[in-house]
Chains A and B, each alone.
Chain A
Protein backbone atom coordinates (compact mmCIF):
# COMPACT_ATOMS: atom_id res chain seq x y z
CA UNK A 1 0.00 0.00 0.00
CA UNK A 2 2.82 2.35 0.88
CA UNK A 3 4.56 1.23 -2.31
CA UNK A 4 1.57 2.26 -4.32
CA UNK A 5 1.62 5.61 -2.58
CA UNK A 6 5.28 6.20 -3.38
CA UNK A 7 4.97 4.98 -6.94
CA UNK A 8 2.08 7.30 -7.63
CA UNK A 9 3.85 10.27 -6.04
CA UNK A 10 6.98 9.56 -8.10
CA UNK A 11 4.97 9.17 -11.30
CA UNK A 12 3.15 12.47 -10.77
CA UNK A 13 6.38 14.26 -10.00
CA UNK A 14 8.00 12.95 -13.15
CA UNK A 15 4.98 14.00 -15.18
CA UNK A 16 5.05 17.44 -13.61
CA UNK A 17 8.74 17.83 -14.31
CA UNK A 18 8.08 17.15 -17.98
CA UNK A 19 5.58 19.99 -18.07
CA UNK A 20 7.31 22.61 -16.03
CA UNK A 21 5.28 25.53 -17.33
CA UNK A 22 2.33 24.45 -15.15
CA UNK A 23 4.43 24.67 -12.03
CA UNK A 24 5.82 28.04 -12.94
CA UNK A 25 2.52 29.58 -13.93
CA UNK A 26 1.11 28.91 -10.46
CA UNK A 27 4.22 30.27 -8.82
CA UNK A 28 4.29 33.43 -10.92
CA UNK A 29 0.61 33.99 -10.36
CA UNK A 30 1.33 34.00 -6.64
CA UNK A 31 4.28 36.37 -7.02
CA UNK A 32 2.41 38.77 -9.28
CA UNK A 33 -0.69 38.94 -7.11
CA UNK A 34 1.34 39.67 -4.00
CA UNK A 35 3.39 42.31 -5.84
CA UNK A 36 0.29 44.02 -7.17
CA UNK A 37 -1.13 44.94 -3.80
CA UNK A 38 1.39 47.69 -2.98
CA UNK A 39 0.61 49.23 -6.36
CA UNK A 40 -3.06 49.34 -5.48
CA UNK A 41 -2.66 50.44 -1.90
CA UNK A 42 0.38 52.70 -1.94
CA UNK A 43 3.94 52.30 -0.78
CA UNK A 44 3.29 53.29 2.85
CA UNK A 45 5.40 50.70 4.72
CA UNK A 46 3.38 50.72 7.91
CA UNK A 47 0.21 49.86 6.05
CA UNK A 48 1.96 47.21 4.00
CA UNK A 49 3.41 45.56 7.07
CA UNK A 50 -0.09 45.44 8.51
CA UNK A 51 -1.70 43.79 5.50
CA UNK A 52 1.21 41.54 4.51
CA UNK A 53 0.02 38.33 6.21
CA UNK A 54 -3.44 38.64 4.75
CA UNK A 55 -2.20 39.48 1.28
CA UNK A 56 0.29 36.62 1.12
CA UNK A 57 -2.25 34.18 2.46
CA UNK A 58 -5.07 35.23 0.15
CA UNK A 59 -2.68 35.05 -2.79
CA UNK A 60 -1.57 31.57 -1.73
CA UNK A 61 -5.23 30.56 -1.47
CA UNK A 62 -6.00 31.84 -4.97
CA UNK A 63 -2.86 30.30 -6.45
CA UNK A 64 -3.71 26.89 -5.04
CA UNK A 65 -7.25 27.21 -6.44
CA UNK A 66 -5.76 27.95 -9.83
CA UNK A 67 -3.71 24.78 -9.76
CA UNK A 68 -6.55 22.55 -8.59
CA UNK A 69 -8.17 22.21 -11.95
CA UNK A 70 -5.29 20.10 -13.20
CA UNK A 71 -5.22 17.78 -10.20
CA UNK A 72 -7.30 14.99 -11.72
CA UNK A 73 -7.99 16.36 -15.20
CA UNK A 74 -5.12 14.66 -17.08
CA UNK A 75 -5.76 11.30 -15.42
CA UNK A 76 -9.43 11.63 -16.21
CA UNK A 77 -8.76 12.37 -19.88
CA UNK A 78 -6.40 9.48 -20.55
CA UNK A 79 -8.29 6.89 -18.52
CA UNK A 80 -5.71 6.50 -15.75
CA UNK A 81 -8.31 7.54 -13.25
CA UNK A 82 -10.57 4.64 -14.10
CA UNK A 83 -7.67 2.28 -13.55
CA UNK A 84 -7.11 3.87 -10.18
CA UNK A 85 -10.74 3.38 -9.25
CA UNK A 86 -10.40 -0.30 -10.11
CA UNK A 87 -7.04 -0.76 -8.40
CA UNK A 88 -6.84 -3.14 -5.42
CA UNK A 89 -5.23 -0.43 -3.29
CA UNK A 90 -7.72 1.70 -1.36
CA UNK A 91 -8.66 4.83 -3.26
CA UNK A 92 -8.04 6.81 -0.09
CA UNK A 93 -4.30 6.13 -0.36
CA UNK A 94 -4.16 6.89 -4.06
CA UNK A 95 -5.97 10.19 -3.54
CA UNK A 96 -3.58 11.05 -0.75
CA UNK A 97 -0.65 10.31 -3.06
CA UNK A 98 -2.07 12.49 -5.84
CA UNK A 99 -2.64 15.34 -3.42
CA UNK A 100 0.84 14.95 -1.93
CA UNK A 101 2.45 15.10 -5.36
CA UNK A 102 0.26 18.04 -6.30
CA UNK A 103 1.30 19.89 -3.18
CA UNK A 104 4.99 19.18 -3.78
CA UNK A 105 4.65 20.65 -7.24
CA UNK A 106 2.40 23.65 -6.61
CA UNK A 107 2.29 24.23 -2.84
CA UNK A 108 5.91 23.82 -1.79
CA UNK A 109 7.30 26.39 -4.27
CA UNK A 110 4.86 28.96 -2.85
CA UNK A 111 6.11 28.24 0.65
CA UNK A 112 9.72 28.61 -0.46
CA UNK A 113 9.22 31.89 -2.28
CA UNK A 114 6.99 33.43 0.38
CA UNK A 115 9.88 34.82 2.52
CA UNK A 116 11.11 36.81 -0.48
CA UNK A 117 7.68 38.30 -0.94
CA UNK A 118 7.47 38.97 2.77
CA UNK A 119 10.61 41.09 2.43
CA UNK A 120 8.79 43.30 -0.05
CA UNK A 121 6.41 44.05 2.79
CA UNK A 122 9.17 44.63 5.33
CA UNK A 123 8.25 41.76 7.63
CA UNK A 124 10.73 40.98 10.39
CA UNK A 125 12.85 37.82 10.23
CA UNK A 126 10.76 36.24 12.95
CA UNK A 127 7.51 37.04 11.18
CA UNK A 128 8.94 35.54 8.01
CA UNK A 129 9.68 32.32 9.86
CA UNK A 130 6.14 32.15 11.16
CA UNK A 131 4.85 32.89 7.66
CA UNK A 132 6.79 29.95 6.26
CA UNK A 133 5.67 27.61 9.03
CA UNK A 134 2.04 28.67 8.68
CA UNK A 135 2.17 28.17 4.92
CA UNK A 136 3.89 24.84 5.41
CA UNK A 137 1.01 23.69 7.61
CA UNK A 138 -1.73 25.47 5.68
CA UNK A 139 -1.08 24.86 2.01
CA UNK A 140 -1.29 21.04 2.31
CA UNK A 141 -4.65 21.51 3.98
CA UNK A 142 -5.70 23.76 1.09
CA UNK A 143 -4.66 21.09 -1.40
CA UNK A 144 -6.54 18.41 0.54
CA UNK A 145 -9.75 20.43 0.79
CA UNK A 146 -9.38 21.62 -2.78
CA UNK A 147 -9.10 18.04 -4.00
CA UNK A 148 -12.73 17.52 -3.00
CA UNK A 149 -13.78 20.39 -5.25
CA UNK A 150 -11.52 19.22 -8.06
CA UNK A 151 -13.02 15.74 -7.89
CA UNK A 152 -16.59 17.06 -7.83
CA UNK A 153 -16.12 19.29 -10.87
CA UNK A 154 -14.15 16.77 -12.91
CA UNK A 155 -14.83 17.19 -16.61
CA UNK A 156 -17.40 19.96 -16.21
CA UNK A 157 -17.40 23.02 -18.38
CA UNK A 158 -16.23 26.09 -16.50
CA UNK A 159 -14.71 23.79 -13.91
CA UNK A 160 -12.02 26.23 -12.87
CA UNK A 161 -14.32 28.96 -11.64
CA UNK A 162 -16.67 26.43 -10.14
CA UNK A 163 -13.89 24.86 -8.08
CA UNK A 164 -13.11 28.22 -6.50
CA UNK A 165 -16.77 28.81 -5.78
CA UNK A 166 -17.07 25.47 -4.00
CA UNK A 167 -13.76 25.37 -2.21
CA UNK A 168 -13.02 28.95 -1.15
CA UNK A 169 -15.72 29.08 1.57
CA UNK A 170 -14.43 25.81 2.97
CA UNK A 171 -10.90 27.18 3.12
CA UNK A 172 -11.78 30.15 5.31
CA UNK A 173 -10.61 28.55 8.58
CA UNK A 174 -7.19 27.86 7.05
CA UNK A 175 -6.96 31.46 5.89
CA UNK A 176 -7.99 32.81 9.28
CA UNK A 177 -5.49 30.80 11.28
CA UNK A 178 -2.71 31.06 8.70
CA UNK A 179 -2.81 34.82 8.34
CA UNK A 180 -3.69 35.11 12.02
CA UNK A 181 -0.50 33.34 13.07
CA UNK A 182 1.69 35.86 11.26
CA UNK A 183 -0.38 38.77 12.50
CA UNK A 184 -0.20 37.50 16.06
CA UNK A 185 3.56 37.28 15.75
CA UNK A 186 3.83 40.80 14.34
CA UNK A 187 1.70 42.24 17.10
CA UNK A 188 3.63 40.29 19.72
CA UNK A 189 0.78 38.05 20.86
CA UNK A 190 2.51 34.78 20.08
CA UNK A 191 1.66 32.54 17.16
CA UNK A 192 1.55 29.24 19.03
CA UNK A 193 -2.24 28.94 19.33
CA UNK A 194 -2.86 29.69 15.69
CA UNK A 195 -0.22 27.27 14.49
CA UNK A 196 -1.58 24.48 16.70
CA UNK A 197 -5.06 25.00 15.33
CA UNK A 198 -3.69 25.10 11.81
CA UNK A 199 -1.98 21.79 12.51
CA UNK A 200 -5.22 20.37 13.84
CA UNK A 201 -7.02 21.45 10.67
CA UNK A 202 -4.32 19.80 8.58
CA UNK A 203 -4.68 16.52 10.47
CA UNK A 204 -8.48 16.60 10.17
CA UNK A 205 -8.24 17.44 6.48
CA UNK A 206 -5.76 14.61 5.90
CA UNK A 207 -8.13 12.18 7.60
CA UNK A 208 -11.44 13.20 6.07
CA UNK A 209 -10.81 15.07 2.83
CA UNK A 210 -9.39 12.05 0.95
CA UNK A 211 -12.53 10.09 1.90
CA UNK A 212 -14.78 12.76 0.46
CA UNK A 213 -12.52 13.10 -2.56
CA UNK A 214 -12.61 9.35 -3.18
CA UNK A 215 -16.41 9.38 -2.99
CA UNK A 216 -16.55 12.38 -5.32
CA UNK A 217 -14.22 10.70 -7.82
CA UNK A 218 -16.44 7.63 -7.93
CA UNK A 219 -19.44 9.84 -8.61
CA UNK A 220 -17.70 11.90 -11.27
CA UNK A 221 -16.02 9.05 -13.11
CA UNK A 222 -19.11 6.88 -13.32
Chain B
Protein backbone atom coordinates (compact mmCIF):
# COMPACT_ATOMS: atom_id res chain seq x y z
CA UNK B 1 0.00 0.00 0.00
CA UNK B 2 2.67 2.42 1.02
CA UNK B 3 4.73 1.73 -2.08
CA UNK B 4 1.70 2.38 -4.24
CA UNK B 5 1.17 5.71 -2.55
CA UNK B 6 4.77 6.65 -3.09
CA UNK B 7 4.55 5.70 -6.74
CA UNK B 8 1.51 7.85 -7.32
CA UNK B 9 3.01 10.87 -5.71
CA UNK B 10 6.22 10.31 -7.58
CA UNK B 11 4.34 10.73 -10.86
CA UNK B 12 2.48 13.72 -9.54
CA UNK B 13 5.77 15.61 -9.59
CA UNK B 14 6.09 17.52 -12.87
CA UNK B 15 9.76 16.61 -13.20
CA UNK B 16 9.07 12.87 -13.34
CA UNK B 17 5.82 13.23 -15.22
CA UNK B 18 7.26 15.30 -18.06
CA UNK B 19 9.34 12.54 -19.73
CA UNK B 20 6.68 9.91 -18.98
CA UNK B 21 4.05 12.07 -20.66
CA UNK B 22 6.35 12.46 -23.64
CA UNK B 23 6.46 8.71 -24.11
CA UNK B 24 2.69 8.36 -23.70
CA UNK B 25 2.17 11.14 -26.24
CA UNK B 26 4.22 9.30 -28.85
CA UNK B 27 2.45 6.00 -28.30
CA UNK B 28 -1.07 7.33 -28.19
CA UNK B 29 -0.40 9.49 -31.24
CA UNK B 30 0.64 6.35 -33.13
CA UNK B 31 -2.43 4.50 -31.88
CA UNK B 32 -4.64 7.44 -32.84
CA UNK B 33 -3.29 7.63 -36.38
CA UNK B 34 -3.61 3.87 -36.92
CA UNK B 35 -7.11 3.70 -35.50
CA UNK B 36 -8.20 6.78 -37.44
CA UNK B 37 -6.92 5.21 -40.65
CA UNK B 38 -8.80 1.97 -39.95
CA UNK B 39 -11.87 3.86 -38.80
CA UNK B 40 -11.94 6.07 -41.87
CA UNK B 41 -11.49 3.11 -44.17
CA UNK B 42 -14.32 1.28 -42.46
CA UNK B 43 -16.61 4.30 -42.40
CA UNK B 44 -16.37 4.78 -46.13
CA UNK B 45 -15.66 1.38 -47.65
CA UNK B 46 -16.82 -1.30 -45.23
CA UNK B 47 -19.89 0.13 -43.55
CA UNK B 48 -22.86 -0.37 -45.87
CA UNK B 49 -25.17 2.40 -47.05
CA UNK B 50 -28.03 2.95 -44.64
CA UNK B 51 -31.34 2.01 -46.27
CA UNK B 52 -33.13 4.98 -44.74
CA UNK B 53 -30.58 7.77 -44.53
CA UNK B 54 -28.43 6.89 -47.54
CA UNK B 55 -24.77 7.91 -47.43
CA UNK B 56 -25.51 10.88 -45.18
CA UNK B 57 -25.59 8.71 -42.08
CA UNK B 58 -21.79 8.30 -42.30
CA UNK B 59 -21.54 11.60 -40.48
CA UNK B 60 -22.40 9.84 -37.24
CA UNK B 61 -19.02 8.12 -37.37
CA UNK B 62 -17.47 11.43 -36.39
CA UNK B 63 -20.48 13.05 -34.74
CA UNK B 64 -21.12 10.47 -32.06
CA UNK B 65 -17.48 10.03 -30.96
CA UNK B 66 -17.01 13.81 -30.86
CA UNK B 67 -20.05 14.39 -28.68
CA UNK B 68 -19.15 11.51 -26.37
CA UNK B 69 -15.64 12.83 -25.98
CA UNK B 70 -16.85 16.35 -25.32
CA UNK B 71 -18.95 15.16 -22.38
CA UNK B 72 -16.42 12.67 -21.12
CA UNK B 73 -13.58 15.20 -21.17
CA UNK B 74 -15.61 17.64 -19.09
CA UNK B 75 -16.11 14.99 -16.41
CA UNK B 76 -12.42 14.05 -16.47
CA UNK B 77 -11.52 17.73 -16.28
CA UNK B 78 -13.77 18.19 -13.26
CA UNK B 79 -12.27 15.09 -11.65
CA UNK B 80 -8.72 16.41 -12.10
CA UNK B 81 -9.89 19.76 -10.80
CA UNK B 82 -11.35 18.12 -7.71
CA UNK B 83 -8.16 16.15 -7.09
CA UNK B 84 -6.12 19.31 -7.53
CA UNK B 85 -8.32 21.17 -5.07
CA UNK B 86 -8.29 18.44 -2.41
CA UNK B 87 -4.69 17.22 -2.59
CA UNK B 88 -3.24 20.50 -3.77
CA UNK B 89 -1.26 18.80 -6.51
CA UNK B 90 -0.12 21.19 -9.19
CA UNK B 91 -0.08 18.57 -11.89
CA UNK B 92 -3.77 17.67 -11.65
CA UNK B 93 -4.74 21.29 -12.13
CA UNK B 94 -2.44 21.49 -15.13
CA UNK B 95 -4.15 18.38 -16.53
CA UNK B 96 -7.54 20.06 -16.14
CA UNK B 97 -6.23 23.13 -17.89
CA UNK B 98 -4.75 21.05 -20.70
CA UNK B 99 -7.97 19.12 -21.29
CA UNK B 100 -10.24 22.14 -21.65
CA UNK B 101 -9.31 23.25 -25.20
CA UNK B 102 -9.56 19.69 -26.51
CA UNK B 103 -12.95 19.28 -24.88
CA UNK B 104 -14.14 22.56 -26.34
CA UNK B 105 -12.89 21.43 -29.75
CA UNK B 106 -14.90 18.23 -29.54
CA UNK B 107 -17.98 20.10 -28.34
CA UNK B 108 -17.65 22.42 -31.30
CA UNK B 109 -17.18 19.50 -33.68
CA UNK B 110 -20.21 17.74 -32.24
CA UNK B 111 -22.29 20.84 -32.98
CA UNK B 112 -20.78 21.34 -36.40
CA UNK B 113 -21.26 17.75 -37.53
CA UNK B 114 -24.69 17.76 -35.89
CA UNK B 115 -25.66 20.69 -38.08
CA UNK B 116 -24.32 18.95 -41.18
CA UNK B 117 -26.28 15.86 -40.24
CA UNK B 118 -29.41 17.81 -39.41
CA UNK B 119 -29.57 19.77 -42.66
CA UNK B 120 -30.26 16.78 -44.94
CA UNK B 121 -32.17 14.76 -42.31
CA UNK B 122 -34.34 17.45 -40.73
CA UNK B 123 -34.13 20.18 -43.35
CA UNK B 124 -32.54 22.80 -41.10
CA UNK B 125 -29.02 23.44 -39.93
CA UNK B 126 -30.10 23.96 -36.38
CA UNK B 127 -32.90 22.48 -34.35
CA UNK B 128 -33.54 23.38 -30.73
CA UNK B 129 -33.37 19.74 -29.85
CA UNK B 130 -32.55 18.86 -26.24
CA UNK B 131 -29.26 17.20 -27.09
CA UNK B 132 -28.03 19.89 -29.43
CA UNK B 133 -28.97 22.61 -26.96
CA UNK B 134 -27.23 20.84 -24.10
CA UNK B 135 -24.15 20.39 -26.24
CA UNK B 136 -24.17 24.12 -26.99
CA UNK B 137 -24.36 24.91 -23.29
CA UNK B 138 -21.49 22.49 -22.69
CA UNK B 139 -19.44 24.46 -25.20
CA UNK B 140 -20.29 27.64 -23.28
CA UNK B 141 -19.13 26.01 -20.05
CA UNK B 142 -15.81 25.09 -21.68
CA UNK B 143 -15.41 28.62 -22.99
CA UNK B 144 -16.14 30.04 -19.54
CA UNK B 145 -13.51 27.78 -17.98
CA UNK B 146 -10.88 28.75 -20.55
CA UNK B 147 -11.74 32.44 -20.28
CA UNK B 148 -11.53 32.41 -16.49
CA UNK B 149 -8.13 30.75 -16.51
CA UNK B 150 -6.95 33.12 -19.19
CA UNK B 151 -8.01 36.16 -17.18
CA UNK B 152 -6.10 35.22 -14.02
CA UNK B 153 -2.39 35.92 -14.04
CA UNK B 154 -1.45 34.08 -10.88
CA UNK B 155 -1.29 30.39 -11.89
CA UNK B 156 -2.18 29.12 -8.42
CA UNK B 157 -5.32 31.20 -8.29
CA UNK B 158 -6.14 30.29 -11.89
CA UNK B 159 -5.90 26.59 -11.03
CA UNK B 160 -8.14 26.76 -8.03
CA UNK B 161 -10.68 29.20 -9.46
CA UNK B 162 -10.93 27.03 -12.57
CA UNK B 163 -11.34 23.96 -10.40
CA UNK B 164 -14.27 25.47 -8.51
CA UNK B 165 -15.89 26.51 -11.77
CA UNK B 166 -15.43 23.05 -13.30
CA UNK B 167 -16.94 21.39 -10.23
CA UNK B 168 -19.89 23.77 -10.17
CA UNK B 169 -20.36 23.07 -13.88
CA UNK B 170 -20.29 19.32 -13.49
CA UNK B 171 -22.90 19.48 -10.73
CA UNK B 172 -25.03 21.68 -12.96
CA UNK B 173 -24.84 19.60 -16.12
CA UNK B 174 -27.53 17.08 -15.09
CA UNK B 175 -29.83 19.91 -14.01
CA UNK B 176 -29.24 21.76 -17.26
CA UNK B 177 -29.82 18.64 -19.32
CA UNK B 178 -33.01 17.83 -17.46
CA UNK B 179 -34.38 21.35 -17.75
CA UNK B 180 -33.55 21.58 -21.45
CA UNK B 181 -35.28 18.27 -22.03
CA UNK B 182 -38.34 19.45 -20.11
CA UNK B 183 -38.34 22.69 -22.07
CA UNK B 184 -38.03 20.77 -25.32
CA UNK B 185 -40.90 18.39 -24.64
CA UNK B 186 -43.17 21.32 -23.78
CA UNK B 187 -42.46 23.01 -27.10
CA UNK B 188 -43.48 20.18 -29.36
CA UNK B 189 -43.32 22.37 -32.47
CA UNK B 190 -39.72 21.49 -33.20
CA UNK B 191 -39.92 17.92 -32.08
CA UNK B 192 -37.59 15.54 -33.80
CA UNK B 193 -37.26 11.84 -33.36
CA UNK B 194 -33.78 10.49 -33.70
CA UNK B 195 -33.56 6.84 -34.62
CA UNK B 196 -29.84 6.44 -34.57
CA UNK B 197 -29.51 3.32 -32.48
CA UNK B 198 -32.35 1.22 -33.80
CA UNK B 199 -31.23 0.74 -37.38
CA UNK B 200 -27.56 0.40 -36.61
CA UNK B 201 -25.96 -2.78 -37.86
CA UNK B 202 -23.05 -4.69 -36.45
CA UNK B 203 -20.48 -3.26 -38.86
CA UNK B 204 -21.60 0.29 -38.21
CA UNK B 205 -21.33 -0.24 -34.49
CA UNK B 206 -17.81 -1.65 -34.77
CA UNK B 207 -16.79 1.25 -37.01
CA UNK B 208 -18.14 3.75 -34.55
CA UNK B 209 -16.37 2.08 -31.65
CA UNK B 210 -13.08 2.16 -33.55
CA UNK B 211 -13.61 5.87 -34.16
CA UNK B 212 -14.40 6.38 -30.48
CA UNK B 213 -11.14 4.72 -29.49
CA UNK B 214 -9.27 6.73 -32.11
CA UNK B 215 -10.67 9.95 -30.66
CA UNK B 216 -9.73 8.76 -27.19
CA UNK B 217 -6.15 8.16 -28.24
CA UNK B 218 -6.11 11.53 -29.97
CA UNK B 219 -7.44 13.30 -26.87
CA UNK B 220 -4.87 11.61 -24.65
CA UNK B 221 -2.02 12.47 -27.00
CA UNK B 222 -2.92 16.08 -27.56
CA UNK B 223 -3.83 16.89 -23.96
CA UNK B 224 -0.66 15.31 -22.61
CA UNK B 225 1.35 17.19 -25.21
CA UNK B 226 -0.33 20.37 -24.03
CA UNK B 227 0.31 19.55 -20.39
CA UNK B 228 3.99 19.20 -21.24
CA UNK B 229 4.00 22.71 -22.62
CA UNK B 230 2.14 23.98 -19.56
CA UNK B 231 4.61 22.24 -17.24
CA UNK B 232 7.52 23.98 -18.96
CA UNK B 233 5.78 27.34 -18.82
CA UNK B 234 5.03 27.01 -15.13
CA UNK B 235 8.36 25.51 -14.10
CA UNK B 236 10.67 27.51 -16.31
CA UNK B 237 12.58 28.84 -13.30
CA UNK B 238 13.33 25.41 -11.82
CA UNK B 239 16.66 23.67 -12.19
CA UNK B 240 15.27 20.48 -13.70
CA UNK B 241 13.79 22.40 -16.59
CA UNK B 242 17.04 24.30 -17.03
CA UNK B 243 19.02 21.08 -17.12
CA UNK B 244 16.53 19.43 -19.44
CA UNK B 245 16.46 22.25 -21.93
CA UNK B 246 20.16 23.04 -21.61
CA UNK B 247 21.08 19.39 -22.06
CA UNK B 248 18.82 18.93 -25.05
CA UNK B 249 20.53 21.69 -26.93
**Chain A residues in contact with chain B, CB under 8 A?**
148, 152-153, 156-159, 162, 165-166, 168-170, 172-173, 176-177, 180, 184, 189, 197, 201, 204, 208, 212, 215-216, 219-220, 222
Contact = CB atoms under 8 A, between A and B. Distances in A.
A25 B170 CA distance: 34
B58 interface: no
Contacts of A180: 182-183, 186
B148 interface: yes
A165 B161 contact: no
Given A165-B144, A212-B167, 18 more contacts: A148-B168, A156-B152, A159-B151, A162-B147, A162-B151, A165-B148, A168-B140, A169-B137, A169-B140, A169-B169, A170-B141, A172-B179, A176-B182, A180-B182, A184-B186, A208-B171, A216-B164, A219-B164
A22 to B, nearest CB: 24
Contact of B172 (A157, A165, A170, A222): A170
Contacts of B160: 219
A216 B163 CA distance: 10
Interface string B136-173: 01001101100110011000110011001101110110
Contacts of B222: none
Nearest to B167: A212
Contacts of B137: 169, 172
A41 to B, nearest CB: 19
B176 interface: yes
A180 B185 CA distance: 12
Classify the secondary structure of B's interface with A.
helix
B179 A216 contact: no
Interface residues of B, number: 28
Interface string B177-204: 0111011001000000000000000000
A169 to B, nearest CB: 4
A172 to B, nearest CB: 6
Contacts of B183: 176, 180
Classify the secondary structure of A's interface with B.
helix
A162 to B, nearest CB: 6
Contacts of A215: 164
Contacts of A153: 148, 151
A157 B148 CA distance: 11
B161 A220 contact: yes
Contacts of B157: 219-220, 222
Interface in B92-124: none
A208 B169 CA distance: 12
B226 to A, nearest CB: 22
Nearest to B146: A165
B46 interface: no
Contacts of B175: 173, 201, 204
